Amino acid sequence: MKMKTLAVTCAIAATLIATGAQAQTKTIYVGMNGGTMEKNYTASIFPDFEKANNVKVVVVPGTSSDIIAKMQAQRDKPQMHVAFLDDGIMYRAINMSLCEKVKDAAVLKDVYPFARLANDQAVAIEMGVLGIGYNKKLFAEKGWPAPTSWMDFADPKYKQKVVFQSISASTFGLYGFMMFNRLVGGTDKNVDPGFKKWGSTIGPNVVEYLSSSAKISEMVQTNEAAIFPLTVTGIANLKDKGIPAEFATPKEGGVLLMTGACPIKGNSEPELAQKLLEFLLTPAVQAKSMALANSIPVNRNVPLSDAAQAKLGKSEVLTKNLNTVDWDTVNEKRSEWNNRWNRMIEQ
């Protein structure tokens, strides 16, 4: 009888311990792009953080526009704890005071200065470089040399062979247009030259304006697309699928793109949110992200691996003359530019 009582007591104690452990497990919600990014993080990156901190990380998937809309709607009572946003939209979130400042930590000193956004209101966790993607098979058939300049999009030999993303829907298209605008005499504050000269230069070469880059893979395989703005990461991903695409760094330089992350202001687990950002910047995670997504590390102590360089190229070439844009101006003028683009170019 005593043995039975002892067994019951032990069973109850074990149940209480297990229940207590479950009660201590917290959940934090991360707003981020769905698809491949969500898959990589949930399968290979977040589990290590969960084990180390007795926490469950749940992804709230969506585009950067979706995530910032949720942040605005939940401003008074955030349901998410951390947001991953494309750099331009991250600057919008910062200007709307939706982000909590990233706390100073030892790992921040290892991050490239340009990856620490707006006085540490956010920090980049991945970066890429936009340049010129081209159809390697078609170029070989035509005997064309690899493109070397953003102005190559205006070369008459590419008539009806240029694929360009709409600036109203794609950062890639916006950046490509802004680089063209600079080369024809414009600035980030003055896009008149770009709009005025597009129709007589690049415009006649464009076979299709895309709302996203997803269709490029198909258009390369059917030889509809000769050249297009794309990131070196995007090209590496196409090559992984056996698609004959190649990347060219323009002589004027590529354009820096970043995925930023910030703790959401007023979130219910501020310490865990900060811990997650520190974790994402560590060399181990940065190296894993590079291997999974062909991304360029923001931690200076993580060089491009031999495997990454075989896909992406030498880092000194990728980052030579790297261009950035004035996001305060872009965010202020974006709606006006979108309307102008739709009216004048994609009419």
**CATH (domain of 184):** 3.40.190.10
Cα separation, 231 vs 92, whole angstroms: 22
234 and 141 in a single domain? The answer is yes
Q: Assign 279 to helix, strand or coil.
A: helix
Residue 203: per-residue pLDDT:
96
165 and 234 in a single domain? The answer is yes
Residue 51: per-residue pLDDT:
96
pLDDT in tens, 74-121: 999 999 999 999 999 999 999 999 999 999 999 999 999 999 999 999
Cα separation, 209 vs 216, whole angstroms: 11
For residue 245, being part of any structural domain is answered with yes
Residues in CB range of 227: below 8 A, 6 or more apart: 132, 133, 134, 135, 147, 152, 153, 158, 161, 162, 163
205 and 98 in a single domain? The answer is no
pLDDT band per the 50, 70, 90 thresholds, residue 173: very high
pLDDT in tens, 222-266: 999 999 999 999 999 999 999 999 999 999 999 999 999 999 999
For residue 314, being part of any structural domain is answered with no
Q: Which two tokens stand for residue 148?
A: 């070397």
For residue 309, being part of any structural domain is answered with no
What value does the mean pLDDT take over residues 272-290? 96
90 and 135 in a single domain? The answer is no
Q: Assign 176 to helix, strand or coil.
A: helix
For residue 310, being part of any structural domain is answered with no
Instruction: Compute φ and ψ for 247, nearest 5 degrees.
Output: -110, 140
Q: Is the pLDDT of residue 172 over 80?
A: yes
- In this structure, the strands spanning 82-86 and 26-32 are parallel
Q: Is the pLDDT of residue 17 over 60?
A: no
145 and 240 in a single domain? The answer is yes
pLDDT above 70 as % of the chain: 93
Instruction: Compute φ and ψ for 296, nearest 5 degrees.
Output: -95, 125
For residue 70, being part of any structural domain is answered with yes
329 and 183 in a single domain? The answer is yes
Residue 2: per-residue pLDDT:
46
- Write the single-letter amino acid at 315: S
For residue 209, being part of any structural domain is answered with yes
Mean predicted lDDT score pLDDT of the chain: 91
pLDDT in tens, 117-156: 999 999 999 999 999 999 999 999 999 999 999 999 999 9
Give the single-character DSSP code of 98.
-
149 and 92 in a single domain? The answer is no
70 and 27 in a single domain? The answer is yes
- The more confident residue out of 220 and 310 is 220
193 and 73 in a single domain? The answer is no
Q: Assign 31 to helix, strand or coil.
A: strand
Q: Is the pLDDT of residue 14 over 70?
A: no
Q: Is the pLDDT of residue 18 over 70?
A: no
Instruction: Compute φ and ψ for 71, nearest 5 degrees.
Output: -60, -40
Residues in CB range of 87: below 8 A, 6 or more apart: 117, 124, 257, 258, 259, 260, 327
- The more confident residue out of 311 and 163 is 163
Instruction: Compute φ and ψ for 208, nearest 5 degrees.
Output: -160, 140
146 and 289 in a single domain? The answer is no
Cβ pair 247, 232 in contact under 8 A: yes
Q: Which two tokens stand for residue 320?
A: 């030579």
Residue 1: per-residue pLDDT:
47
Total number of domains in the chain:
2
- Write the single-letter amino acid at 165: Q
Q: Is the pLDDT of residue 305 over 90?
A: no
Q: Which two tokens stand for residue 174?
A: 């916006």
82 and 225 in a single domain? The answer is no
203 and 326 in a single domain? The answer is yes
For residue 312, being part of any structural domain is answered with no
| Of 159, 153, 135, nearest in space to 221 by CA | 135
Q: Is the pLDDT of residue 303 over 70?
A: yes
Place of tokens 């794609």: 170
For residue 218, being part of any structural domain is answered with yes
Q: Which residues form the domain of 231? A: 129-256+322-344
